């Protein structure tokens, strides 16, 4: 695909993955409209920290993904939609399940409805590996059963089903991209890797929840590349495609690796408030990325060690972004 001049909408553009995707799209010559959730601070999220020469090329629009009239307005004239807008906090979904479920389901329905009426060429729905729950087998392929182990995962299972219903009912060109655990610069310390790094930088103790679960980590630039490969593919419609490395590491091992890379002496402690409810904890995630290789020609290029090094450098340069002494949900 020639991205030059291609009109693209990215919902959730101010988020972690969204900001990296927007940056990459602009670099490839796309005309990018970034949709952000309105707030009284007029906060542009992570778009405020991307290079100014890229930021000035973005058409920034604000509103609420739950308002259909607003979504109709922002989809006009675009050819490709990357739908990333979502409420993503798993612990937050324990506290406010109604809000999380409403944003993630109604927001997705609105985006699909407006996109279909705007006759867009392709719609990329963003999923999450959390829809699989604890692995029944590894590596996890796209046929793995869905297990709603948190209100957040339930909301994303529902959102993905809504997206596929538009493909099946209306032959609408929607594909589902399912990143496993993405990490890298700009990620909030609600996520495990920035939380560990920021705690190591500021103290001798690192407080974690359960350290035995395993996760499959992908560096954010690789994830952003996968999003673009989805839009470029002629075989993405109706597909659910995992994006992951195919390698797993426990949270405890991850913490030790980060401490070693940072050259610090750190004590790792258990923090009860960070431990998820037993039935809700996803104990094991490890992706099969065979379909991504086959359909998208995608595989990760940044190793865990290289990605962690880049993330450590970013967090070290931007300490004000993080609150290591506070558990953020």
Q: Which pLDDT tens digit goes with each residue over 301-320?
A: 999 999 999 999 999 999 88
Which residues have CB under 8 Å from 236's CB, separation 6+? 122, 124, 173, 175, 230, 295, 296
Q: Minimal CA–CA distance to 75: which of 61, 87, 57, 86?
A: 61
- What pLDDT was estimated at residue 41? 77
- pLDDT tens profile 67-107: 999 999 999 999 999 999 999 989 999 999 999 999 999 99
* Residue 42 clears pLDDT 90, i.e. is over it: no
Q: How confident is the model at residue 322 (pLDDT cuts 50, 70, 90)?
A: confident
Q: What is the pLDDT of residue 321?
A: 86
Identify which has the larger pLDDT, 298 or 265: 298
CA dist 26 to 4, 5, 75, 288, Å? Answer: 9, 10, 18, 30
pLDDT of residue 2: 94
User: With 90 as the cut, is the pLDDT of residue 271 above it?
Assistant: no
Single out the residue of 109, 33, 134, 27 nearest to residue 75, CA to CA: 33
Spatial CA neighbour of 140 closest among 149, 151, 131: 131
pLDDT of residue 84: 98
- Residue 329 pLDDT > 80, yes or no? no
Q: Residue 64 above 80 pLDDT?
A: yes
DSSP per position, 122-154: EEEEE--GGGG-S-SSSSB-TTSPP---SHHHH
Region 262-268 average pLDDT: 88
Q: What pLDDT, in 10s, does the model give residues 190-224?
A: 999 999 999 999 888 899 989 999 999 999 999 99
- C-alpha distances in Å from residue 114, one per residue of 5, 71, 289: 22, 6, 31
**Residue 169 near residue 118 (C-beta atoms within 8 A):** no
Token representation of residue 250: 């426990």
**Terminal-to-terminal C-alpha distance of the chain:** 39
CATH topology for 7-130+144-184+220-243?
Answer: Rossmann fold (3.40.50)
Residue 39 pLDDT greater than 80, yes or no = no
- The DSSP annotation for 44-98 comes to -GGGGGS-HHHHTT-EEEEE-TT-HHHHHHHHTT-SEEEE------HHHHHH-HH
pLDDT at 239 over 90: yes
Q: Take residue 296 and report the two structure tokens written for it.
A: 């998208």
Global pTM?
0.96
In angstroms, the CA 133 to CA 165 distance is 22
Q: Before 109, cis peptide (omega within 30)?
A: no
Go through the chain and tell me how many residues it has. Answer: 329
Q: Crossing angle, helix 192-202 and helix 251-262, to 10 degrees?
A: 40
Structure-block tokens of residue 204: 């001798």
Mean pLDDT throughout 136-154?
A: 98
- Listed by start position, the domains of the chain span 7-130+144-184+220-243
């Amino acid at each position: 695909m020639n991205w030059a001049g291609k009109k693209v909408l990215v919902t959730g553009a101010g988020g972690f993955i969204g900001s990296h995707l927007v940056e990459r799209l602009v670099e490839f010559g796309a005309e990018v409209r970034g949709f952000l959730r309105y707030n009284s601070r007029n906060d542009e999220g992570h778009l405020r920290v991307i290079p100014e020469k890229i930021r000035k090329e973005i058409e920034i629009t604000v509103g609420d993904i739950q308002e259909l009239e607003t979504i109709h307005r922002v989809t006009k004239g675009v050819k490709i939609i990357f739908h990333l807008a979502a409420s993503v906090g798993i612990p937050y979904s324990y506290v406010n399940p109604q809000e999380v479920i409403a944003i993630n389901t109604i927001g997705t329905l609105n985006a699909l409805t407006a996109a279909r009426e705007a006759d867009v060429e392709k719609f990329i729905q963003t999923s999450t590996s959390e829809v699989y729950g604890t692995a029944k087998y590894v590596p996890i392929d796209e046929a793995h059963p869905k297990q709603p182990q948190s209100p957040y995962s339930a909301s994303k299972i529902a959102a993905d089903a809504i997206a596929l219903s538009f493909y099946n009912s209306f032959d609408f060109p929607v594909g589902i991209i399912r990143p496993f655990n993405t990490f890298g610069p700009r990620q909030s310390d609600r996520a495990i890797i920035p939380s560990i790094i920021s705690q190591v930088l500021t103290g001798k103790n690192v407080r974690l929840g359960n350290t035995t679960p395993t996760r499959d980590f992908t560096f954010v630039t690789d994830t952003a590349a996968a999003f673009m490969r989805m839009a470029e593919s002629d075989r993405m419609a109706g597909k659910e495609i995992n994006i992951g490395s195919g390698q797993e590491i426990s949270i405890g091992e991850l913490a030790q690796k980060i401490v070693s890379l940072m050259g610090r002496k750190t004590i790792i402690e258990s923090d009860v408030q960070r431990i998820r409810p037993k039935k809700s904890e996803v104990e094991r995630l490890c992706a099969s990325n065979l379909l991504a290789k086959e359909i998208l020609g995608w595989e990760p290029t940044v190793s865990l060690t290289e990605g962690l090094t880049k993330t450590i450098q970013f967090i070290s340069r931007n300490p004000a972004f993080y609150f290591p002494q506070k558990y953020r949900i």
